[in-house]
Chain A
Amino acid sequence: MKVGIISFAHTHAISYASILRDRSDVECVATDPGNVARPAGESGGRELAESIGVVYVDTVDELLAWHPDAVIVCSENTRHVEDVERAAAAGAHVLCEKPLATTRRDARRIIDACDRAGVSLMTAFPVRFTAQYAQLRHRVQTGAMGKVLSISGANNGRLPSERAWFTDPALAGGGAVADHTVHVADLVFGLFPDSDAEEVFAVANRLLRPDCEVETAGLVSIRYSNGLTAVIDCSWSVPDHYPTWGGLTVRVITEGGIAELAPFAERVDGFSETDQSPLWLSYGADLDAAMLDEFLGAIAEVRQPVPSGRDGLRALEVVLAAYESIATGRPAAVQPL
């Protein structure tokens, strides 16, 4: 299978490229034309592709002229729409980095472009592929834990410093709320696919990094149509020199008890005298690899991959309502799909 990668703007692209390089059933070609516009010192372009060990071409046109079966779009959030439209028009199935888009209009355009072209569309929510999440979902959906009352989630990380665009509202469409709310929101939708988010109340501030143009901390409260409530802490609150990038936790509060999911918890702890800092050796499963298995597997089996583009829009609607609530100071209705 021929898989193209458009842009190294989102650094998850490095992980995807490395996984695809090592798959014997995949040929991978990457392009990163936006690299020239990125600030000096940020990795990218041919140099990065060669260091990973994947073939590089200079333009999206060249990449699409290679007739890839599938394309992974890893450009800046506001540029997803143009790249997905081109890939879909060229007949490639699309895996789009999260958040799917930064506006409802762009997300609709992305979904419509793929529908029109008859290609499948997947949103990159790798945490869904945590094996223990599947166990949790089974227990929730079979009622083994009793009625679920509420969910308390946190997706915290360092301020993304390896790419300046993450804190540029014109390219990222927001800050921590846009970046981190969607993962937990998607996990909740995965537990309750038939329930809708109805109302969102959110608060945010820039106290962690007052020099930032976007919010660096946020709390998002969601009411669902099944009576469930959730709060998501989406803050970039992990210190720059913390021994790991951050993490994600989900506490599910049910009538039967509590379930706590921490997909990135597995690690060996230690201390390095050389670095004079704690060691944190993560050894959890590679969720990106599991996600790419689903994407490429679905294409081979001619079915829609999950999570879909619609799932990406669903999570985005929560983000859009959160920003509306932050602006007005009042709960905001979530636009139905």
Chain B
Amino acid sequence: MTISTVGLVGAGGIAHLHLPGWLKLGFAVVVHSIDGQAPALTRQYGGRAVDSMDELLDSADIVDVATPTDTHRLLVERAAEAGKHVVCEKPMALTIADSAAMIAACERAGVRLFPAHVVRYFPAYAAMRTAVAGGRIGPPAVQRFFRIGSAPKQPWYRDRARSGGIAMDQMIHDFDLARWSAGDVEAVYATWVGDETTASTTVQAILRHHSGTISHVNGVWGNPTLGFHTGFSVAGPGGLLEHDSLRHPVLDYDGHSDAGETGYVPPVEAASSPYTAELSDFARAIREGGRARVTPEDGLEAVRIAAAVNRSVDEHTEIALEDVR
């Protein structure tokens, strides 16, 4: 069976990154979105807008779900029932129950499921993981991750019932990364200042891993002038790995008022986009049958950490992950 067509559901922020990626990888893409933005998106990048999910499912071999989080389960289950492999934007779902149901639906249907934890494909983070896995610094003892950006503009992000808030939507990247380098998380503690309805909101989370590693994760959704800024520090008995996304730029401007673009997602080059690398890995896993860098269980465990963080914020105490189901 040839895998040649992707059905992209949604035409929002992530679709602007996934659509050119799929096209670059040689896939035909059909796009459906209930917000009416699909025609504009396909005019900008290519591909073909279709009017319904049925039409999308008729032509797609892979369904890429890039919609608000609260719609993921329904769309993933529908794609699986139609026998399509599924790429699902992170977070997989707002709850562990929904995530588990999505995994079960894909297993029943015999299709693959790929939660799109794209930061595993950002080269700096991949280099860190390779160095840690290769024993370059010894087992991690203490890790710090931060992720700062302007708050997303689309209103659904500000509705915790739809997005899960900053911990579930944004910091889930770093929860996944902390777990990727230091293994499963045993318990979390977190504080939250501000909320989705305010101009700025921030969560500070502390993770204890089963390995004994301790991790600090700080996420910020700030005012619209904030640039996108991430980084990490991973220390072990044999050394230290540090990264700051604003240091060591390949091209930098000064004195050009229009030079920089602030935002919710990092600036990427089409030729080296981590989003394209991610989709390429998923496509390879589908065609060759191997593992991808992110598994469905990774997606579920990231949701579990974020759900525990949200509970810790509410209950003002450390939450054991085994109690979060």
Q: Which residues from chain A sit less than 8 Å from chain B, CB to CB?
A: 146, 149-150, 152, 154, 156, 199, 201, 203-205, 207-210, 216-219, 221, 223, 227-231, 233, 235, 237-239, 242, 251, 253-258, 329-331
Complex contact A257–B223 (CB within 8 A): yes
Among A208, A209, A227, residue most surrounded by chain B Cβ atoms (within 10 Å): A208
Complex Cα spacing A218 to B144, Å: 11
Complex contact B141–A149 (CB within 8 A): no
Question: Is B206 interfacial (CB-CB < 8 Å)?
Answer: yes
Complex contact A219–B194 (CB within 8 A): no
Chain A to chain B contacts (Cβ below 8 Å), 20 pairs: A149-B202, A207-B140, A207-B142, A207-B237, A208-B236, A218-B142, A221-B189, A230-B204, A231-B191, A231-B216, A233-B144, A235-B142, A238-B235, A239-B238, A239-B240, A251-B146, A251-B218, A253-B218, A257-B226, A331-B317
Residues in B194-240 with C-beta less than 8 Å from chain A: 194, 198-202, 204, 206, 208, 212-216, 218, 220, 222-223, 225-226, 229, 233, 235-240
Complex contact B237–A203 (CB within 8 A): no
Complex contact B204–A231 (CB within 8 A): yes
Count: A-B pairs, CB below 8 Å: 125
Complex Cα spacing A199 to B235, Å: 27
Question: Is B316 interfacial (CB-CB < 8 Å)?
Answer: yes
A253 to B, closest residue via Cβ: B202
Complex contact B142–A152 (CB within 8 A): no
Complex contact B237–A219 (CB within 8 A): no
Complex contact A237–B240 (CB within 8 A): yes
Q: Which residues from A are CB-within-8-Å of B146?
A: 152, 251
Top 6 A-B residue pairs of the complex, sorted by shortest distance between their CB atoms: A237-B235, A207-B141, A217-B142, A229-B191, A149-B193, A208-B141
Q: Which residues from A are CB-within-8-Å of B233?
A: 154, 237
Complex Cα spacing A18 to B235, Å: 33
Q: Which residues from B are CB-within-8-Å of A237?
A: 141-142, 233, 235, 240
Q: Which residues from A are CB-within-8-Å of B316?
A: 199, 331
Complex Cα spacing A16 to B198, Å: 47
Complex Cα spacing A66 to B151, Å: 63
Residues in B113-161 with C-beta less than 8 Å from chain A: 139-142, 144, 146, 148
Complex contact B206–A205 (CB within 8 A): no
How far apart are B190's CB and chain A's nearest CB, in angstroms? Answer: 8
Q: Add 10 more A-B contacts to A205-B141, A331-B317 (CB < 8 A).
A: A201-B318, A203-B214, A217-B142, A219-B214, A233-B216, A239-B238, A255-B223, A257-B223, A257-B225, A257-B226
How far apart are B231's CB and chain A's nearest CB, in angstroms? Answer: 10
A256 to B, closest residue via Cβ: B223
Complex contact A227–B193 (CB within 8 A): yes
Complex contact A235–B235 (CB within 8 A): yes
How far apart are B306's CB and chain A's nearest CB, in angstroms? Answer: 17
Q: Which residues from A are CB-within-8-Å of B239?
A: 239
Complex Cα spacing A258 to B214, Å: 25
A228 to B, closest residue via Cβ: B193
Q: Which residues from B are CB-within-8-Å of A231?
A: 191, 204, 206, 216, 218
User: B193's contact among A146, A229, A257, by CB below 8 Å, is which?
Assistant: A229
Q: Which residues from A are CB-within-8-Å of B226?
A: 257-258
Q: Which residues from B are CB-within-8-Å of A227?
A: 193
User: B235's contact among A217, A223, A251, A255, by CB below 8 Å, is which?
Assistant: A217
How far apart are A224's CB and chain B's nearest CB, in angstroms? Answer: 10
Q: Which residues from A are CB-within-8-Å of B198?
A: 255
Q: Which residues from B are CB-within-8-Å of A201?
A: 189, 206, 318
Given the known inter-chain contacts A239-B240, A242-B240, A253-B200, please indicate yes or no for A203 contacting B206, CB distance below 8 A.
Answer: yes
Complex contact B141–A254 (CB within 8 A): no
How far apart are B174's CB and chain A's nearest CB, in angstroms? Answer: 13
How far apart are A153's CB and chain B's nearest CB, in angstroms? Answer: 10
